């Protein structure tokens, strides 16, 4: 069969997790037992689900609401916002006699905003509900006590049920594996839905349960309580009077899929909300952008303005009310409502002032934009769609587009000051190729610069001394044989055999592992079969020169971890001694060599340093023969550690492994190349030109990291390097000779001295454009991050253009990110691709996950996912810049238009002796924020561009507007507010002057409240619309329709609403058709007022553009004058920046400017 339908037979072999033959022994020590205590209280009776009624059912709900809770919970969520709660109070008060308008003016806009948000929440939750129904209705075979299995829905499962799960089905709950279609009770599991990793995991049931009869099974499982740790499980099974330890090797998690196994039997131990995948489904850390946090402060400021104006009005109203009562007569009798005894009583002026204060609070509520929050939510969602659909960030090779997993941080993308990046898989391809090796002190393999495109993926090694069996002629042929035999045996790779072609492919947990196995195969040591306890290799027999199949019995696998930095296997060949094969990082391997095993150490160290200088990743290979007694002791201890059911089981296992992995004999070192992704150097250079500092946090050696730094343009030759390093021979000698506490103090003092010297270098270079790079190793970083040094270290680091942290652990990555975020005050972006980057991504203001080959854990913990590092350039410089400008201008304009509208109400109130009489009809008030002014500002937030994407990338200096927060500083915000107050003052007083005490039409009728309010409202609509036109930098057809349509809708509303019966339209009845439209005064006044109001902004804009241009203004000028390729353009744009650029930024600009100038010099 063709293509993907071609039948494949996959021979899957064991991937053991510290497997030992004695794993089934009931070996417990009382000191280790925690079962029955806090955290270990779950008891499961297999085959007796009725005994587990105290545990939850298996229904999983991901919805935020239920049908009964939707209304109250959704309303509660809405009114938790201070602004919405304020409008709710205003709405309630609008039903009282205190209201200056009818309830419709307050209720309509509030209802519209709340309903819009509730509809959005409801639709999203309904989609989640449909997914829940589909998942909970799936069926699985459940044992019913008679040896038969009946299909039941997932939601009906209970703890203690025994299930039969078929091939390619998902596990419906957390199960303990009992047996499978394989004789040795193993199965293969895909965990992509849990951790994103695509490689299969091998699980194995206990020996005692692999042939159990389920009809009569009476087993008791005691285990840990439900928790979120996917990689740990502690428990015991009591069966036939004996106890057997349970580990993660027997645990099958809900959400993972059974692969390459016909079926398995398992017992349910955790259901529904207790399963580990649901325990892990908590919301990620809540992140809010700087602009959103500042917006809350603006809302509070507006509350203060509203309260202040209401208080001022109340005081003045009380004073004039007290003075209004003369000789028992009320002079302003017309202000008193017919049925009022309190609101205007000169004899009780303080009470009247208090009532006026409450009325004024309602009237002044229009200062606060009620639709601001919902409008921003709509805009951010649509902005995220634009990011997701950007074809320039689509990685066709892997069919992966960009994915904005949250829309809360769009504008934050335009304010990033520091990028903290992982290296492997983020800057590099994480596609390892075996390039070189050092064996017995001899270097093999060509230089990287001579390596051609590999014929075999993962293998780019060329050396005739080893290839084609020529290694047998080498002086150290026996060492070469042990070297490649170790590569062929010491791993956790699973082979796959294609039935049609017989070709073997390898499924490995990491690209490194695959590269090693492939390298061994290409040299002549082909790994091809793995069983539960054996590994088979085809290799060349040195004696007879023929290829033979050798089978190695795998006794133990000591798994790799980031803390151990090594992995080992213990194997036995035929009847030989147990053999420990180990490979790991040089930082932990050289110190584990025996005295007799260091024969090639000096040469190997030199070669490792050379490889690191070339940017290659290195591992040290070593071995040791174990005597039988030593191995028996190890077997007993590892069994005891594995059998422990205490929370520190992993620590006990590590302790036992630590004692066996010593006194090793050195074989050599490997060197694999992880190539840079396409476009990484250009991307980093462009980000640096934008003033963004780049930190690289890597686990590589310092030499490797520095070499990669130069390759990716993070470091430049003219940069001065400040190196903080404790990995020196003197330090290593000191560590072996002294006491730990004394050594720690000495090392910490040395780190402090190096940091101080670095700061002195920075200070000495003050005023120069030269840039510095800081490189620090992991051991030094551990001291630099201590409380008394971390801010000194940060001061040095922030003065450098680039920072590289070598040998960094996942915890150190997260701590460095937190330090930069809290200590520098800059917006931080972390980018990574692996599980070890999750902490860093969650600590940063923005986490960007690379959807690479290390699974999807980083993506699932990120805010935005991209497929390649180079897309970060467009994500920040284009989308980030646009989103920052759009959201900033949108919020500022929102407050401008509401202040303009609200302050005309206050001025009219003052004009009418603070009588709280609104200037406008109730429906005018209701629809201002909902219908006449909101859609244009939403379009501004969606479509506006100051310059095109091409110019954003051509002139990265534009990005500094966001980093320096020029468009949303308090100065800019207050200037917009001041502009709003000025516009309102001009509109009100010009309308008052034009219409007061004058004949409005040919009949000589003066302007009343209906005419004055209608005219002033028209002026407000025109002014805020024209202000929008001047604010928009880039017009689309949609914007034209919406912006000018809002004015048209106002006039249509006047005509339609005014045509309704008077009981509906009240004082707006026929006001436009019969009074305003026929009157020349209305049109002349509107034209005059609008032009007068806009004139100051025109003058201000002209002065700013001419004498104080911002970067985008200068670029537009260059564009229109066709000077975009002039050599002086960079200098002009750089000088347009309002504030000085960051360290390193100026140096990049100067370097590029010199390059441009050279390119424009005439030839000889």
Nearest to residue 250, comparing CAs of 197, 194, 195, 208?
208
Torsion-angle region of 36 (φ positive above 0: left; ψ -120 to 50: alpha; else: beta) = left
426 annotated to a ligand binding site: no
Q: Which one of 390, 422, 674, 777 is the catalytic residue?
A: 422
DSSP assignment, residue 929? I
Structure tokens at 1118: 């260059």
Q: Are 353 and 915 spatial neighbours (Cβ–Cβ below 8 Å)?
A: no
909 annotated to a ligand binding site: no
> How far from the centroid of its chain's Cα atoms is residue 6's Cα?
39
17 annotated to a ligand binding site: no
Nearest to residue 622, comparing CAs of 569, 664, 577, 573?
664
| 3-state DSSP percent of the chain in helix, strand and coil, to 5 | 50, 15, 35
Rg (CA), the chain: 37
What does the DSSP assignment read for 418-433? EEEE--TTTTEEEEEE
132 annotated to a ligand binding site: no
262 annotated to a ligand binding site: no
Phi, psi for residue 212 in degrees, rounded to 5: -75, 150
Residue 811 neighbours by CB distance under 10 Å: 15
3-class secondary structure for 693-762? EEEEECCCCHHHHHHHHHHCCCCCCCCEEEEECCCCHHHHHHHHHCCHHHHHHHHHHHHHHHHHHHHHHH
149 annotated to a ligand binding site: no
* Angle subtended at Cα 160 by Cα 247 and Cα 29, rounded to the nearest 5 degrees: 35
583 annotated to a ligand binding site: yes
894 annotated to a ligand binding site: no
833 annotated to a ligand binding site: yes
What does the DSSP assignment read for 509-531? SSHHHHHHHHHHHHHT-EEEEE-
699 annotated to a ligand binding site: yes
Q: Are 724 and 754 spatial neighbours (Cβ–Cβ below 8 Å)?
A: yes
Please, which residues have CB within 8 angstroms of residue 421's CB and are 6 or more apart in sequence? 427, 694, 695, 696, 697, 830, 831, 832, 869
613 annotated to a ligand binding site: no
Bridge partners (DSSP) of residue 175 are 252, 268
Phi, psi for residue 857 in degrees, rounded to 5: -60, -45
Nearest to residue 824, comparing CAs of 970, 1009, 692?
692
User: Cα dist. 689→832, 876, 949 in Å?
Assistant: 22, 13, 16
Helix axes 934-943, 1009-1031, angle to 10 degrees: 0
203 annotated to a ligand binding site: no
User: Cα dist. 382→788, 883, 939, 1042 in Å?
Assistant: 46, 11, 10, 17
Bridge partners (DSSP) of residue 456 are 459
Please, which residues have CB within 8 angstroms of residue 322's CB and are 6 or more apart in sequence? 346, 349
Residue 834 neighbours by CB distance under 10 Å: 23
Does residue 422 have an active-site annotation?
Answer: yes
673 annotated to a ligand binding site: no
Bridge partners (DSSP) of residue 141 are 151, 164
User: Cα dist. 978→309, 889, 1020, 1033, 1158 in Å?
Assistant: 15, 15, 16, 22, 48
Phi, psi for residue 719 in degrees, rounded to 5: -70, 145
560 annotated to a ligand binding site: yes
Phi, psi for residue 26 in degrees, rounded to 5: -85, 80
424 annotated to a ligand binding site: yes
Nearest to residue 1146, comparing CAs of 686, 795, 717, 689?
689
User: HSE on the CB side for 665, CA within 13 Å?
Assistant: 13
- What residue has token string 């063709």? 2
Q: Give the residue ranges of the annotated binding site for Mg(2+).
A: 422, 424, 833, 837
Active site residues: 422
Q: Give the residue ranges of the annotated binding site for ATP.
A: 422-424, 513, 560, 583, 617, 698-700, 807, 813, 836-837
């Amino acid at each position: 069969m063709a293509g993907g339908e071609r039948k494949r037979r996959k021979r899957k072999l064991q991937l053991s997790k510290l497997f030992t033959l004695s794993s089934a022994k009931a070996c417990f020590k009382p000191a280790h037992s925690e079962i029955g205590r806090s955290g270990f209280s779950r008891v499961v009776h297999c085959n007796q689900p009725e005994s587990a009624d105290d545990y939850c059912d298996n229904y999983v709900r991901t919805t935020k609401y239920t049908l009964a809770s939707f209304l109250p919970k959704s309303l509660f969520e809405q009114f938790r916002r201070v602004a919405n709660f304020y409008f709710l109070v205003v709405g309630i008060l609008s039903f009282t006699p205190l209201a200056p308008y009818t309830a419709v003016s307050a209720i309509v806009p509030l209802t519209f905003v709340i309903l819009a948000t509730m509809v959005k929440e409801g639709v999203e939750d309904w989609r989640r509900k449909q997914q829940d129904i589909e998942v909970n209705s799936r069926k699985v075979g459940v044992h019913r006590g008679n040896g038969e299995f009946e299909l039941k829905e997932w939601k009906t499962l209970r703890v203690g049920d025994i299930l039969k799960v078929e091939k390619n089905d998902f596990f419906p709950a957390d199960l303990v594996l009992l047996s499978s279609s394989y004789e040795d009770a193993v199965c293969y599991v895909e965990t992509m839905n849990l951790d994103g990793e695509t490689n299969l995991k091998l699980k194995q049931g206990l020996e005692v349960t692999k042939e159990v009869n389920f009809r009569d099974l009476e087993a008791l499982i005691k285990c840990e309580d439900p928790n979120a740790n996917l990689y740990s499980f502690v428990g015991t099974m009591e069966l036939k009077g004996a106890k057997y330890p349970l580990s993660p090797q027997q645990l099958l998690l809900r959400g993972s899929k059974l692969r390459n196994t016909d079926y398995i039997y398992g017992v349910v131990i955790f259901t529904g909300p207790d399963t580990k995948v649901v325990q892990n489904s908590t919301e990620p850390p809540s992140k809010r952008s700087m602009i959103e946090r500042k917006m809350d402060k603006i809302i509070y400021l507006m509350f203060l303005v509203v309260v202040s104006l209401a208080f001022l009005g109340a005081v003045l109203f009380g004073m004039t009310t007290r003075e209004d009562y003369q000789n028992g007569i009320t002079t302003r009798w017309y202000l008193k409502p017919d049925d009022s005894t309190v609101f205007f009583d000169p004899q009780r002026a303080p009470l009247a002032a208090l009532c006026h204060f409450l009325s004024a609070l309602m009237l002044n509520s229009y200062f606060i934009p009620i639709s601001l929050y919902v409008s921003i939510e709509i805009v951010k969602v649509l902005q995220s769609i634009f990011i997701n659909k950007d074809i320039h960030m689509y990685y066709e090779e892997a069919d992966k587009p960009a994915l904005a997993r949250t829309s809360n941080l769009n504008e934050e993308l335009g304010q990033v000051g520091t990028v903290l990046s992982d290296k492997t898989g983020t800057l590099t391809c994480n596609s390892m190729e075996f390039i070189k090796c050092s064996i017995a002190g001899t270097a093999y393999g060509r230089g990287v610069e001579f390596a051609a495109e590999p014929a075999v993926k993962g293998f780019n090694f060329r050396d005739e001394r080893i290839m084609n069996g020529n290694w047998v002629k080498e002086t150290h042929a026996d060492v070469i044989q042990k070297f490649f035999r170790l590569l062929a045996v010491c791993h956790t790779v699973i082979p796959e055999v294609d039935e049609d072609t017989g070709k073997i492919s390898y499924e490995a947990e990491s690209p490194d592992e695959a590269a090693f196995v492939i390298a061994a195969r290409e040299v002549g040591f082909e790994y091809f079969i793995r069983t539960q306890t054996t590994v088979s290799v085809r290799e060349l027999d040195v004696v007879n020169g023929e290829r033979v199949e050798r089978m190695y019995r795998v006794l133990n696998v000591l798994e790799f971890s980031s803390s151990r930095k090594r992995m080992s296997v213990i194997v036995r060949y035929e009847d030989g001694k147990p053999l420990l094969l180990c490979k790991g990082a040089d930082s932990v391997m050289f110190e584990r060599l025996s005295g007799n095993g260091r024969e090639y150490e000096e040469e190997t160290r030199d070669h490792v340093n050379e490889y690191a200088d070339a940017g290659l990743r290195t591992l040290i290979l070593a071995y040791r023969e174990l005597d039988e007694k030593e191995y028996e002791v190890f077997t007993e201890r590892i069994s005891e550690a594995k059998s422990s059911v205490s929370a520190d089981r992993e620590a006990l296992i590590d302790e036992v492994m630590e004692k066996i992995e010593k006194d090793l004999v050195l074989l050599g070192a490997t060197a694999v190349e992880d190539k840079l992704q396409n476009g990484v150097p250009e991307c980093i250079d462009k980000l640096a030109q934008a003033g963004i500092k780049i930190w690289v946090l890597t686990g590589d050696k310092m030499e490797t990291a520095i070499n990669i730094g130069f390759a990716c343009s993070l470091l430049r030759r003219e940069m001065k390097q400040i190196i903080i390093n404790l990995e020196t021979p003197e330090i290593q000698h000191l560590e072996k000779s002294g006491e730990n506490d004394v050594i720690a103090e000495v090392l910490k003092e040395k780190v402090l001295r190096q940091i101080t010297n670095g700061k002195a270098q920075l200070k000495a270079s003050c005023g120069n454009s030269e840039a510095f790079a800081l490189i620090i190793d992991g051991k030094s970083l551990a001291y630099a991050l201590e409380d008394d040094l971390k801010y000194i270290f940060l001061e040095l680091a922030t003065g450098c253009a680039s920072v590289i942290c070598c040998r960094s652990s996942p915890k150190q990555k997260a701590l460095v990110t937190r330090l930069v975020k809290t200590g520098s005050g800059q917006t931080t972006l972390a980018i990574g691709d692996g599980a070890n980057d999750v902490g860093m991504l969650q600590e940063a203001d923005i986490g960007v996950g690379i959807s690479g080959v290390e699974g999807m854990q980083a993506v699932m913990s990120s805010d935005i996912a991209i497929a390649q590092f180079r897309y970060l350039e467009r994500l920040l410089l284009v989308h980030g810049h646009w989103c920052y400008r759009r959201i900033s201008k949108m919020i500022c304009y929102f407050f401008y238009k509401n202040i303009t509208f609200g302050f005309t109400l206050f001025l009219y109130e003052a004009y009418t002796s603070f009588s709280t009489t609104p200037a406008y009809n109730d429906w005018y008030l209701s629809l201002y924020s909902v219908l006449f002014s909101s859609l244009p500002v939403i379009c501004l937030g969606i479509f506006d561009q100051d310059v095109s994407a091409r110019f954003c990338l051509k002139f990265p200096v534009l990005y500094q507007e966001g980093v320096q927060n020029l468009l949303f500083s308090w100065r800019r915000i207050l200037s917009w507010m001041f502009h709003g107050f000025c516009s309102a003052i001009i509109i009100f007083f010009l309308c008052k002057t034009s219409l007061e005490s004058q004949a409005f039409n040919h009949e000589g009728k003066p302007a009343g409240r209906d005419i004055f309010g209608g005219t002033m409202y028209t002026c407000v609509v025109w002014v805020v619309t024209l202000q929008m036109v001047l604010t928009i930098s880039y017009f689309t057809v949609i914007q034209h329709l919406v912006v000018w349509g809002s004015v048209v809708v106002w006039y249509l509303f006047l005509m339609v609403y005014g045509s309704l019966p008077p009981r509906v339209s009240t004082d707006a009845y026929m006001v436009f058709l019969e009074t305003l439209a026929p009157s020349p005064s209305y049109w002349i006044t509107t034209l005059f007022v609008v032009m007068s109001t806009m004139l100051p902004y025109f003058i201000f804009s002209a002065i700013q553009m001419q004498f104080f241009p911002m970067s985008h203004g200068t670029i537009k000028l260059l564009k229109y004058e066709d000077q975009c390729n002039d050599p002086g353009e960079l200098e002009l744009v750089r000088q347009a920046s309002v504030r000085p650029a960051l360290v390193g930024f100026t140096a990049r600009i100067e370097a590029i400017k010199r390059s441009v100038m050279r390119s424009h010099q005439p030839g000889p």
